[in-house]
Structure 1
Amino acid sequence: MLRDVVLYALNYHKPHSMNSIYTLTSAFTLTLLTLSAGILAQTAEPLDSYTAAEINYLASFFQIPSTIYTAEYAVDAYRVTYDMPYLDSTISVSGALFVPQGVDSLCSLPVMTYMHGTVFERTDAPSFLPLEGRLGFLMSSPGFIVLMPDYVGLGTSQLMHPYVHAQSEADAGVYLIQAAEALGVELDYSFNGEFFSSGYSQGGHASMALSRELETNWADTYPLTASAPLSGPYDISGTQFPETFESPSYSNPAYLAYNVIGWNSYYGTLYDDLSEIFQEPYATDLPGMFNGETSGQAINTYLPFLLADLLQPGLVDSIMADPNHPFNVAAQDNDVYEWVPQSPMKMYYCTEDEQVFYNNAIIAEEWMTANGALNVTTSDGGPFNHSDCAGPAIFGGMIWMQGYHVECIPDNILEIDETVWSITPNPVVNGTTTLRGLPTNVTWNLRDISGRLLTNGMGAEVDFTGLPEGIYFIQTNGWGTKKVLLHF
């Protein structure tokens, strides 16, 4: 219901002429841009376009303060259909591509790959522009190519979705990056060599899997600049699974069925008959509900409140007691934290998350740091549940990663305009930073990520002593606002 209200509001605020254009194009076959890269092919189908004013409205709808976010460029959205490896074959999958418009032609663009959270219906995947998919307009407007894979079994793919399956999530991301790079020839953009990864919930797991894949196997082609996995189940075998069964009920029992049926579609080892896992009538009814057309809410409503009424007696104990149980083997195959990131990573979590337990992030950070990671941190978003944690985590991760982006200044600019100024050093390391390129008597306000005024002053020096690590904004009088990161 909320999604329908949001989409109605967004469409209502689009100019009438734009609505007419997309009503017209939906009635006819859209022209597809088709290219080939080796044995793989990709197409790009136009979906929608937002002006900067419309993106600002979208930001206000998400209650993002205008003091810390203002749309810079209009954005065009496309559905990309592309090939990726899966099991022993090559399959066709889909994803969303967002391209900022009006960027200086001399500037190549950074790439942000955002991995979406749990969806059950295929048309809730990003390339159908649901609520989460429309975040791509916000992420792209600062001048980023934004990619959102739909994953295997979602979007246009008709297979069973292998829920929280790390390798297929990672491959969906990597091969969408590859497809988008090839499409840049026709869509008039190129990559600048900066690659970022983020995602929330299942998307946090997928972002971690993608980040690992990029650093392990694609570092020379798509070097990871920074990543922000958000509230993801990184440690399924040791944290997410055991903590799920510490209580007699779980907030979303549909996730458990999704996990078992999805993994079995890939591994084929978790059960021969679903009655080995679930009691009746659920063992008989559940497979038909995972048809890509039934909502998670409908499945949750159908399932019993108590896990003891859903699962076969003794099943959880037998899994816990046997490290070689097929579920444990699959879970360990999809743990995504036992690797050492070379690029900066920040994991966001909230302590009252009832769906993805926050110890996933704590365990991941501890393991990575103990094994040599030098720039992996976590950020405690506070005592919020999974839904309330999402907005601040997604936006906070986006802003944090943008701090590692190097702004493009075209080579044909012979003199730096007086409105182009910089913050040095940025990130700040627990001390003072300097505003370069501004008058010595410039006045400024220092604000936090919520827009709250912390202090103000005059001159080129800004002192961060005593402030916690995080994202801040220096708002000058007449010279605009820039973000700055404070690291310890």
Structure 2
Amino acid sequence: MALTGPALAQTRPVAARASAQALKASGATVPTMSPARTTGRGRLAAEPVHLRTLSKTDASRALAQAGFGPDAVRYGVDLYRLLYRTVDAEGRPTVASGLIVLPRNGERRLRMVSFTHGTQSYKEDAPSIGEDDFSSAPAITFGSAGFAAVTPDYLGLGEGPGTHPWMDVPSETTASLDMLRAARVFMAREGRTPQRRVLVTGFSQGASAALGLARALQDGADSSYRLGAVAPISGAYAFRDAEIPALLAGGEINPKMAVAYTTYLLVAWNRLHHLYDSPTEVFKAAYADKVDRLFDGTTPGPEMLDALPDSLDQLLTPRGLDLLRHPSGPFAKALKAADGTCDGWVPRAPIRLYYSAGDEQAVTANTEHCRDAFHANGVDLTPIDLGPYDYEGSRHLGTAVRGTAAIVDWFAHLPA
């Protein structure tokens, strides 16, 4: 999940910039939606913004500074922000933003990679906005290797309006699919064309999103694209049966991360599924009046973490703890939907699952549940352990670094 899914992992300090200032500086604005302008999912909603050009040397340096390996770098890249039309979690028209990275290699027809990122709670940490290269490093990795790489910010992050519906696979899927459509429109303007087969990957929260997108592409959600391969990294595929028990038990998951993820889950899903009438029902008084603000997209990650307690017992009321221990009603229904990304389908394209044993945010049991679900449908799948590599003290974030390196190499060797 990584804050960045279970990992609000992007709590690394990022220079704070006001959203309004970022919009003004970029020249992009979120258009007022009117009935006459609510059609056309995947159409551009504003002029694309050229963020920066990186030479081959610059790309290698940016990746090294972000902690990612530069071994796959073959070309310089251009980074652009797209604002595009999509639908929200209720199916209503809205807009979302995302990052596209194109190689400076002169090729007109490019292989497509969709990378869906891990958990972020602050709008300006999104890949198309943030100044922290960790968020954009996977897309830069794929772009500099010669792919056209797209990374949706998801709903409510980056320049998207409203709040982010965290771990809501259906809206992650539509935002990712419409980002691919927007990329096709933008690339045509640049005289370039995406190949039909999309190579799909994602990390943490983005691992479930990647599987949602992969399934949609295989099911024919867009006639211009089809699934080429799928390779999720360190996902929270089994929240009810793996992640929540680990959150409650302690030991496997970093306690502060457990508090952050639990709060994000309850706040975001209450907006979607009405789990409680008042925060005071599930959060203790010292935090009940803070949680909505902490996860409305305007609070930087370090500030959010500082405002939360160090344990679930300090955070939750008896009812809140009972909700986690014995999910029922709308919460149980929502968990079943979130945990269904590996169930009931057989990928007709190559698939790999990546993880690391000892992950302190997305516990290994998540990947085991996903593997077992695919096995039940006859898919011969052995998850790939990326080994004990920690990034800034986090095994979970380390899987993003090692997984991206492994996947760009795998994708490069797949038939075009």
**AA in 1 matched with 2:188:** V
Equivalent position of 2:233 in the other structure: 230
Structure with more relative contact order (C-alpha pairs < 8 Å, separation 6 or more): 2
Equivalent position of 2:5 in the other structure: none
* Equivalent runs, 1:411-430 vs 2, <5 Å: none
* Equivalent runs, 1:143-162 vs 2, <5 Å: 143-162=146-165
Residues 278 and 219 of structure 1: is their aligned pair in 2 closer, same or farther, counting only changes over 3 Å? same
Tell me how far apart the structure 1 counterparts of residues 414 and 303 of structure 2 sit (CA, whole Å): 42
**AA in 1 matched with 2:238:** D
Match of 1:388 among 382, 398, 402: 398
Equivalent position of 1:83 in the other structure: 85
Equivalent position of 1:123 in the other structure: 124
Bigger share in strand? 1
Equivalent position of 2:7 in the other structure: none
Tell me how far apart the structure 2 counterparts of residues 250 and 216 of structure 1 sit (CA, whole Å): 39
Equivalent position of 1:454 in the other structure: none
* 1:271 CA displacement: 1.0
Q: Is 1:329 aligned to 2:333, yes or no? A: yes
Tell me how far apart the structure 2 counterparts of residues 53 and 28 of structure 1 sit (CA, whole Å): 25
Tell me how far apart the structure 1 counterparts of residues 104 and 49 of structure 2 sit (CA, whole Å): 17
**AA in 2 matched with 1:378:** P
Residues 65 and 313 of structure 1: is their aligned pair in 2 closer, same or farther, counting only changes over 3 Å? closer
* Equivalent runs, 1:85-484 vs 2, <5 Å: 85-86=87-88, 87-105=90-108, 108-129=109-130, 130-135=132-137, 136-218=139-221, 220-247=223-250, 250-252=255-257, 253-267=259-273, 269-321=274-326, 324-335=328-339, 336-338=341-343, 339-374=345-380, 376-384=381-389, 385-406=395-416
Corresponding residue SS for 1:173: helix
* 1:213 CA displacement: 2.0
Tell me how far apart the structure 1 counterparts of residues 323 and 203 of structure 2 sit (CA, whole Å): 31
Tell me how far apart the structure 2 counterparts of residues 261 and 290 of structure 1 sit (CA, whole Å): 7
Which residues of structure 1 form unaligned runs of 5+? 6-25, 407-488
Assess if the C-alpha contact under 8 Å between 1:94 and 1:156 holds in 2.
yes
Residues 132 and 217 of structure 1: is their aligned pair in 2 closer, same or farther, counting only changes over 3 Å? farther
In our comparison, the structure showing a higher alpha carbon Rg is 1
Tell me how far apart the structure 1 counterparts of residues 29 and 330 of structure 2 sit (CA, whole Å): 47
Q: What are the Cα deviations for residues 288-337 of structure 1, in whole angstroms up to 9, with x where unaligned?
A: 22231212322222222221121111543455445x33222111111122
* 1:3 CA displacement: 5.6
Residues 371 and 274 of structure 1: is their aligned pair in 2 closer, same or farther, counting only changes over 3 Å? same
Tell me how far apart the structure 2 counterparts of residues 164 and 307 of structure 1 sit (CA, whole Å): 20
Assess if the C-alpha contact under 8 Å between 1:120 and 1:292 holds in 2.
yes
Equivalent position of 2:4 in the other structure: none
Tell me how far apart the structure 2 counterparts of residues 28 and 131 of structure 1 sit (CA, whole Å): 18
* 1:151 CA displacement: 0.6
Residues 78 and 37 of structure 1: is their aligned pair in 2 closer, same or farther, counting only changes over 3 Å? farther
Corresponding residue SS for 1:128: coil
Corresponding residue SS for 1:196: strand
Tell me how far apart the structure 2 counterparts of residues 221 and 270 of structure 1 sit (CA, whole Å): 39
Tell me how far apart the structure 2 counterparts of residues 310 and 362 of structure 1 sit (CA, whole Å): 29
Residues 244 and 189 of structure 1: is their aligned pair in 2 closer, same or farther, counting only changes over 3 Å? same
Equivalent position of 1:45 in the other structure: 49
Tell me how far apart the structure 2 counterparts of residues 94 and 30 of structure 1 sit (CA, whole Å): 11
**AA in 1 matched with 2:311:** L
Tell me how far apart the structure 2 counterparts of residues 31 and 236 of structure 1 sit (CA, whole Å): 36
Residues 122 and 321 of structure 1: is their aligned pair in 2 closer, same or farther, counting only changes over 3 Å? closer
**AA in 2 matched with 1:47:** L
**AA in 2 matched with 1:304:** P
Q: What are the Cα deviations for residues 356-393 of structure 1, in whole angstroms up to 9, with x where unaligned?
A: 1111111101210221224x331112245213333112
Assess if the C-alpha contact under 8 Å between 1:204 and 1:230 holds in 2.
yes
**AA in 2 matched with 1:213:** A
Q: What are the Cα deviations for residues 189-223 of structure 1, in whole angstroms up to 9, with x where unaligned?
A: 10122201111111222212221222234274321
**AA in 2 matched with 1:158:** P
Bigger share in helix? 2
Question: Which deviates more from structure 2 when the two are superposed, residues 201-210 or residues 53-62?
Answer: 53-62
* 1:394 CA displacement: 2.1
Q: Is 1:58 aligned to 2:62, yes or no? A: yes
Tell me how far apart the structure 2 counterparts of residues 38 and 163 of structure 1 sit (CA, whole Å): 25
Corresponding residue SS for 1:377: coil
**AA in 2 matched with 1:264:** N
Tell me how far apart the structure 1 counterparts of residues 197 and 38 of structure 2 sit (CA, whole Å): 21
